[in-house]
Structure formats: structure tokens, C-alpha cells
Amino acid sequence: MRMASKLIESIQEAKKGKERKFNESLEVAFNLKDIDMADPKNRINEEIVLPNGRGKEIKVALFSSDEMKQKVKNADYLYSLEDLNNFIDDKKAFKKLVNNIDFFVAEATMMGNIGKNLGIILGPRGKMPKPVPAGQDPTAMIDNLKKSVRARSRDKKTFHVPIGVKTMDDQTLLQNFNAVIKRIVSHMEKGKGNITSLYIKSTMGKAVNVNLGDIE
């Protein structure tokens, strides 16, 4: 209980500050140590499902056949093989589109074509599609992605992961925080021992230090 109350206090402190004209995100900032980030296998590149969602709209696009399109109920954008070919011909337009979409899903039969021709755009942004076997309904996968955040360190020891927005209640944010911490810690050889420091902050607010002893 003491650890939870301390974390709640840190969340409340991070939510303080000047009111903005938009709903600021709340995020966790990690500073790592004793990890060779030049080695790709040590880098963090995770999609984490938040138990209470992100608190904001997450856009998901699907590349698929007409058959799969008829099954899906929750994709924000639906693209066909013809659309894919058009994007391949006009990569500049595709780059603009990618910036407005959080996650991509693709029917498995289209993955090779996407990787070969659009991987140069999607890969560096960490947005390569998640494959769906032909004939399956991707609705459940898309539901999870709409509650997900991407934790991506690249080759840096400092990186940020969103846990929600300021208008979400403290307990909801705490549950999301714990989900992110658990996933990141499980990725590292020494667990919490690979974390130098941890902060919670809003988009434009101050960083609030989190005592590593307060996390599970």
C-alpha cells in the first residue's frame, strides 16, 4: 500500500501545473545503465497494452483483401492491394499518411510486398505492420492496438513511454504505469538494476522523480 500511495503522489504531482488548451499526455521517462544500446538485441522495442487504454484516440490502418475487410469492424483506415501499389508509386504521400497513423496491420500475404517496398519508411518509425493470417478476423488485434503504446529506445539509454492523459484518474494511471514498468523491467537482464532513474511527467510539465524502491 505504501508503494502504491507514493506512486499516486508522484502521478498527482506530475499532473499539476498550468492548464493547457489540449489534454496533455502523461508519460514515464526511463534512464538506463549498464546496457550496450549499440547492440540491437538490447534495445527496447515493445508494444504494451495498457489496461485502461491511452485516454486518446489511437489510429490503426489495415492492409487486406476484400474478404478480410468485410470482417473487420474497428480499423480507422482500410487499404487494398491497389492502394498498396499506389503508395509504392507515391512514397512521399505515404510518408505523410504514416505520420497520422499509430499502428498498421496487414494480411500476411501482403507483408512481403510491404516490407520490400515500404519497409524503408515504416521500419525506422517502428511501424511495420503486425501480420494477420489470411482469412482471420483482425478485430481483436486492432482492439488491443487501440489500447497500446509503443516503447522504443532506439540506441538511446533515455526514452519516454506514454501511460495516459492528465484527465484520467490517478488509480487508472497507476495501473497503466505498472503495466509499462513490468514490461520494460522484464526485458532487461538486471531488471530494475538496469534503471538509473525514473520520472513521470506531462507533455509540458516538470519531471517528477520516482523512487525505484516504490515500484514492484
DSSP 98: H
Burial of 150 (0-12, 13-18, 19+ CB in 10 A): middle
Q: Which CATH superfamily is domain 60-145 in?
A: Ribosomal protein L1/L10, domain II (3.40.50.790)
In what helix (H) or strand (E) does residue 86 lie, and over which residues does it extend?
helix 81-89
Is the predicted pLDDT of residue 107 greater than 90, yes or no? Answer: yes
Phi, psi of 136 (to 5 degrees): -85, 160
The answer on pLDDT for 34 being more than 60 is: yes
4-35: b (≥16 Cβ within 10 Å) or e: eeebeebbeebbeeeeeeeebbbbbbbebeeb
Q: Which of 216, 211, 149 is nearest to 178 (CA)?
A: 216
Question: Band of the pLDDT at 2, cuts 50, 70, 90?
Answer: low
Q: How far apart are CA 136 and CA 5, in angstroms?
A: 44
CB 6, CB 213: distance < 8 Å: no
Confidence of residue 119 (pLDDT cuts 50, 70, 90): very high
- Contact of 176 with 55, CB cutoff 8 Å: no
CATH placement of domain 2-53+150-214? 3.30.190.20
Domain boundaries, the chain: 2-53+150-214, 60-145
Cα gap 88→186, rounded to integer Å:
38
pLDDT for 4: 76
